[in-house]
Structure 1
Amino acid sequence: MVTCIVGINWGDEGKGRVADLLSRDMDIVCRCQGTSEARHTVVNERGSFMLNQLPSGILYGGVCCIMGDGMYIQPDRLNEEITRLRDAGVDISPENLKISRRAALVLPGLTATQMRLLLETRDRLCMGDLTDVEMLAEHLNALADAFRRYGGKPNMSAWSACCRRYTALFGDYIADTGAYLYDAEHAGKRILLESQSGALRDKDFGVFPYGSPTNCLAAYTPIGAGMPGVRLSRVVGVMKAYSACHGDGPFPAEITGEEATYFRELGQEDEDGATPRRVGGFDAVASRYGVRLQGVDAIALTKLDAVSFLPQIPICVAYEVDGKRVTDFPTPSALRRAKPIYEYVDGWNCDISGCRAFADLPVQAIIYIRYLEELVGAPITYVSVGAERDAYIRDSVKAEIQ
């Protein structure tokens, strides 16, 4: 059985939280794509962990973790991440972590533009090159030529020294992970594929030109994992109980001023001290589009607790574009002109962090969840009600509440 976790919106939906929840029932967890810029946050009894490149399953003993073909691995940052987790008592070895030999190796010293250009061409290194001395030298020379074409000044001696160090650090972890996953799937193992970013950041179907350089859709996850012929058994899409967007580009449901500050404080959106994250009411138009792109079977709704004390909860049910009401997600150019059309539902004004079943939730919270299901067209089967590992509700609200 192969399950994948994907983002429905602009990314930062809480996929790490949900991946941690599902990982406990898996044999293998594979991170399919992304760089060290990805941030999956997991909170457990040991503390709070920011996983930039490692799969979320690394925090469970007995789960084998894969860094898949579609990843852009920055070895120095990966080593720092592994060291942080080991210092916290997490066991990491070639037995429970395997790195695809086809994953891209990102050398230090590249600008963001140079890195993107090199990764989009054939002139790049793969992690498997570290285990083949002759091939590594050939590929380093090709990379240096490409680097010069993009205006860089390659330092071959420094690059060679880095690669020798990376071989010593990760040589034992590098494997044919595609074959490993293929055999595991045929043996009936439970596999979780962990995606990066969200549907609206997809390079083909997202909001151009503000997307990711990679595909962020469920259909791509088996390819990024290294098992392109495998069918997904289940797609779990993740969305927040409100909207959040990190980065530039049109964001129709955006709320500003004091109300935005209140939203960010409730959702702890600025806890990393970075640029304030853009926030807004739940965007049904964007979420419905994301659900369709991802082919979602089940939805995990995160941060429901963050809207608990709002007297009225805003929901963007449509856009106004050039004086017309629009309920389908528009083109990127039209999206720039879109204005939100809001409806409001009553809040429930109480703490729900102790709820562990849908029946425990206040009536207004259940009404809110059901309305979101109706708006996006998919069942909500997981709800997080707090940051702690056990602060979630599982199973369909319709199955439990009649």
Structure 2
Amino acid sequence: MANIPLNLGNLTAVLGTQWGDEGKGKLIDILSEEFELVVRAAGGANAGHTIYLRDPVSPTTSKKFVFHLVPSGMLHKACVCLIGNGVVLHLPTLFEEIELLEKNNISTNGRILIADRTHLLFDYHKEIDAVQEERKGDKKVGTTKRGIGPCYMDKTSRMGIRIHELLNFAKFTAKYRQNLATLKDLYGEITYDTEKELSELKILAEKIKPMLVDGAHYLHTAYKNGRKILVEGANGSMLDVDHGTYPYVTSSNPTIGGISVGTGLPGRAFTSLVGIMKAYVTRVGSGPFPTELKDQLGEDIRQKGGEFGATTGRPRRCGWYDSVIGKYAVMLNGLTDINLTKLDVLTGLPTLKIATAYKYNDEILPSVPADLDIMENMEIEYIEMQGWTENIGDIRSFENLPQNAKNYVLKIEELIGCKISSIGVGMERDAMIFR
């Protein structure tokens, strides 16, 4: 796909606006054709970005790629990809993804860089994640158990280990063992093969040497030299540790503040901020979900949309589009554009609903409430819209969409106060409408 009709400027960020799984990977893959650098800003292997690449020999089939750590621009040979300092990095997982790319004849040589301030995630973080979740009993958050929270805990408690420390392996090993002893005092015996992990890391320490850069300096230099940079967000705004449905959130800031901190790029430098949102809403794990469909319709949407976690395979909860959280995400992030994804999944539904307001004690709430008791007990106000039956998977022009589909898109745009500049109508890379 070429000649993308979006004027995004030289520094663009793509962010999730719901509870993650909005389809960020696909748009990042498409936009990467227009950019020289693609940067991952935050999160870890708890995020899975899925891209379907149509087979040039057999156009009716597609190759599926799921990236957990490698930035989604890797499928474009001209792109250099940088893992930013805001990421918590499990090195063995990264090199598994690199190996998979090489097996598919996608060269990574010189194309993957890592900010030297990036914190390392170890197997003991995964063990602790499982212990913490088990101790919560029926108050489980529903984490991916990939060790993300415990790694960020180490970072903020100033006992984290950054990737540059691997270059002095003896000193690194001493700190690793000291941390492990401290954590065992807190969590009891952590049962995994520490010597195996250290042996593997010693091998990987040599491999990462040519990949390390001073992330912020590298990006600022690239920006000043006029190189086009695309920053890839992970998770979604409603999972933000500060602004999301706390405590049922991730351990980082998927909003614009986390993008700046996780790269070293100042917020005022961004020329475009693109929010990704599904034409309906999904959520994995526990936590409030105002528009959730707990009936057969919710299951039908799950099956038709393939709503199963890219990281865990868990079924996603599905519900109607929620313009309250849509407007909230636009406000939090200062979004300039919206990419509305999976519009095709709604084809065939006779009636569609859009949540327009939250009501509690007979009063309309001004925004998303912090109090989860309110969120669990508030009333949802909806509008109903007529659906469409026509297949829209091959449509590439907004004007050619069925009128009811256009009405649905335009109503969402009106409610959230941000232009919907692109619309996903299928899995493949080229199944996108730009307007």
> 2:41 is paired with a residue of what secondary structure?
strand
In the alignment, what sits opposite 2:123?
108
Q: Distance in 1 between matches of 2:54 and 2:102?
A: 15
> 1:24 is paired with a residue of what secondary structure?
helix
In the alignment, what sits opposite 1:328?
367
In the alignment, what sits opposite 1:353?
393
- What is the CA-CA distance between 1:319 and the residue it aligns to? 2.2
Tell whether 2:289 aligns with 1:280: no
Equivalent residue runs for 1:159-198 within 5 Å: 159-198=197-236
Look up the equivalent residue of 1:20 and give its one-letter code.
D
Tell whether 2:13 aligns with 1:4: yes
Tell whether 2:339 aligns with 1:300: yes
Q: Distance in 1 between matches of 2:418 and 2:402?
A: 22
Tell whether 2:26 aligns with 1:25: no
Q: Distance in 1 between matches of 2:208 and 2:261?
A: 23
| Contact 2:358–2:365, Cα closer than 8 Å, also in 1 | yes
Which structure carries more strand by proportion?
A: 1
In the alignment, what sits opposite 2:25?
16
- What is the CA-CA distance between 1:270 and the residue it aligns to? 2.9
Stretch of structure 1 that moved more, 382-391 or 333-342? 333-342
Equivalent residue runs for 1:336-375 within 5 Å: 336-375=376-415
- What is the CA-CA distance between 1:70 and the residue it aligns to? 0.5
Stretch of structure 1 that moved more, 145-154 or 377-386? 145-154
> 2:34 is paired with a residue of what secondary structure?
coil
Change (3 A) 1:166 1:82: same
> 2:285 is paired with a residue of what secondary structure?
coil
| Contact 2:284–2:309, Cα closer than 8 Å, also in 1 | no
Tell whether 2:423 aligns with 1:383: yes
| Contact 2:112–2:211, Cα closer than 8 Å, also in 1 | yes
Equivalent residue runs for 1:121-140 within 5 Å: 121-133=157-169, 135-140=171-176
Select which of 30, 35, 42 maps to 2:44. Answer: 35
| Contact 1:7–1:237, Cα closer than 8 Å, also in 2 | yes
Q: Distance in 1 between matches of 2:249 and 2:309?
A: 24
Look up the equivalent residue of 1:260 and give its one-letter code.
G
Select which of 21, 31, 44 maps to 2:53. Answer: 44
| Contact 1:285–1:317, Cα closer than 8 Å, also in 2 | yes
Q: Distance in 2 between matches of 1:329 and 1:200?
A: 10
Change (3 A) 1:156 1:284: closer
- What is the CA-CA distance between 1:49 and the residue it aligns to? 0.5
Cα distance per residue 1:30-80 (max 9 Å; x no partner):
000111111100111251100000100011011000000011111111111
In the alignment, what sits opposite 1:399?
none
Q: Distance in 1 between matches of 2:181 and 2:154?
A: 11
Stretch of structure 1 that moved more, 152-161 or 279-288? 152-161
> 1:388 is paired with a residue of what secondary structure?
coil
In the alignment, what sits opposite 1:60?
76
Q: Distance in 2 between matches of 1:226 and 1:139?
A: 26
> 1:43 is paired with a residue of what secondary structure?
strand
Look up the equivalent residue of 1:35 and give its one-letter code.
G
Stretch of structure 1 that moved more, 239-248 or 159-168? 159-168
Equivalent residue runs for 1:81-120 within 5 Å: 81-93=97-109, 95-110=110-125, 111=127, 112=129, 113=132, 114-120=150-156
Q: Distance in 2 between matches of 1:297 and 1:380?
A: 9
Look up the equivalent residue of 1:136 and give its one-letter code.
F
> 2:123 is paired with a residue of what secondary structure?
coil
| Contact 2:124–2:180, Cα closer than 8 Å, also in 1 | no
Cα distance per residue 1:72-114 (max 9 Å; x no partner):
1111111111111211121111x21101111111122332144
Equivalent residue runs for 1:67-82 within 5 Å: 67-82=83-98
Q: Distance in 1 between matches of 2:112 and 2:268?
A: 21
| Contact 2:393–2:425, Cα closer than 8 Å, also in 1 | yes
How many residues are aligned here? Answer: 394
Select which of 227, 232, 235 maps to 2:273. Answer: 235
Stretch of structure 1 that moved more, 186-195 or 161-170? 161-170
Identity of matched residues, %: 29
- What is the CA-CA distance between 1:351 and the residue it aligns to? 0.6
| Contact 1:322–1:337, Cα closer than 8 Å, also in 2 | no
In the alignment, what sits opposite 1:398?
none
Q: Distance in 2 between matches of 1:271 and 1:201?
A: 15
Change (3 A) 1:327 1:267: farther
Stretch of structure 1 that moved more, 33-42 or 259-268? 259-268
Q: Distance in 1 between matches of 2:164 and 2:286?
A: 35
Change (3 A) 1:60 1:152: farther
- What is the CA-CA distance between 1:152 and the residue it aligns to? 4.9
Change (3 A) 1:274 1:133: closer
Stretch of structure 1 that moved more, 144-153 or 274-283? 144-153
- What is the CA-CA distance between 1:145 and the residue it aligns to? 4.5
Change (3 A) 1:83 1:125: same
Stretch of structure 1 that moved more, 292-301 or 316-325? 316-325
Is there any run of 5+ residues in structure 2 with no aligned partner, and where? 1-9, 56-62, 133-149
- What is the CA-CA distance between 1:141 and the residue it aligns to? 4.6
Tell whether 2:183 aligns with 1:147: yes
Q: Distance in 1 between matches of 2:173 and 2:320?
A: 53
> 2:288 is paired with a residue of what secondary structure?
coil
Q: Distance in 1 between matches of 2:394 and 2:317?
A: 28
Is there any run of 5+ residues in structure 1 with no aligned partner, and where? 396-402
